[in-house]
Amino acid sequence: MDIGVLLPTGTAQWAEGDDPRDLITLARTAEHLGFTSLFVNDSLITPRIEALTMLAALASTTETATLGTGALLPFLRRPVQAAQSLASIDLLSGGRLTLAVGAGYPGRFGRPFYALSEVPWPRRFARLDETVALWRALWQGADSFHGEFQDFPDLPPALRPCRPAGPPIWLAGATPTARARTGRLYDGWLPYPPDPADYATGLHDIHRAAAAAGRPPEAVTPALFVTVRIDGADENTAHGQRATDDYARATYGMPLPELAKIQAVVAGPAEQVTERLNQYVAAGARHLVIRPAALNLPAQREQMERAAALIPDLHP
């Protein structure tokens, strides 16, 4: 099992007086608490520390944790330049980079991104797959690339990442077509289904798609993105639910019951949270990326400490 944490790089998770530089301290604390990965999110429509800038800062200030994106939106960046940035982070971190990527989805967190990026919305999934193929080609020394969306007959020598094949690339998506593409093309899967049973079904589909493509099931790392709020000994469940609802409204502009319909959210006493997370583990998840539901950096640290105490009890 790998247990990671999503760092609160968005200003919606900061309170007045919070120092963004404390994100470095928070990351180092998470590593020392036993979290094996540190993830960051990507956005242009909500204020936050830019994802690759944050990972570059962590490359030299952390030691062992995987540095990940949950999820990177490649269409926000020029693909060749992005490949260089990603290879740079992988080199500076000693080969600790893992990329979860996504194409966006309809609504507040989809089409507005594309308007800002000046990239067409149609065929966004094919564009994502082709961009990933271009990155991998660059990292392995290709001198040309010919695709539907990008054509480079004469590529200059590219910076090579630490690992010959480049960093692992996961897909963040849970639709049937996303699961099929994960099994065929990607190194991991990072969804957030509200029901562990749906996770098990999705992972079964991925293994079937991988087998059809001649890949073993272990070629795809089964991960999970999950929002977590753990009640303290002096807090009642109602207090935790209110705090999680405040987080949902601040982060997504919707109440907790609506968010819980579309994303994995686990809140309550430590025993209850452990039991629910282990249901996802039983469904096949082997890398949990926990997002603490807290709205200032000290509270984020407190939630991280509570989550770290659960790590020994999360196991297949």
Q: Which residues have a Cβ under 8 Å from the Cβ of 174 and sit 6 or more positions away?
A: 191, 192, 193, 198, 202
Residue 41 confidence class, pLDDT cut points 50, 70, 90: very high
Predicted local confidence at residue 106, as pLDDT: 63
* DSSP at 159: P
pLDDT of 87 > 80? The answer is yes
Tell me what pLDDT residue 112 has. 75
Q: With 70 as the cut, is the pLDDT of residue 68 above it?
A: yes
Tell whether the model's pLDDT for residue 28 goes beyond 90.
yes
pLDDT of 29 above 90: yes
* C-beta neighbour count of 159 within 10 angstroms: 14
283: its two tokens: 């469904």
At residue 42, the pLDDT reads 94
Identify the residue whose tokens are 């204020």. Answer: 47
Q: How far apart are alpha carbons 183 and 212 in whole angstroms?
A: 9
What value does the mean pLDDT take over residues 23-28?
98
- What does the pLDDT average to over 218-229? 98
State the pLDDT confidence band at 230, using cuts at 50, 70 and 90: very high
User: Taken in order 307, 21, 12, 93, is the CA torsion positive or negative?
Assistant: negative
d(CA 210, CA 196): 21
Give me the mean pLDDT over the 284-298 stretch: 98
Q: What is the pLDDT of residue 108?
A: 63
Lowest mean pLDDT among 44-48, 173-177, 250-254: 44-48
How far CA 37 is from CA of 34, 109, 167, 260, in Å, comes to 9, 25, 14, 24
Place of tokens 């242009």: 44
Q: What is the pLDDT of residue 110?
A: 64
Mean pLDDT, rounded, of the chain? 95
Taking the complete model, does pTM exceed 0.85, yes or no? yes
pLDDT, mean of residues 90-102: 98
What mean pLDDT do residues 1-16 have? 97
The 10s digit of each residue's pLDDT in 105-119 is 766 666 677 777 788
Residue 125, pLDDT > 80, answer: yes
Give per-residue pLDDT as tens, 154-203: 999 999 999 999 999 999 999 999 999 999 999 999 999 999 999 999 99
Residue partners of 281: CB distance under 8 A and separation at least 6: 1, 288, 314, 315, 316
Closest alpha carbon to 185 in 198, 201, 173:
173
Give the C-alpha separation, 202 to 168, whole Å. Answer: 20
Rounded-to-integer distance, Cα 206 and Cα 194, Å: 18
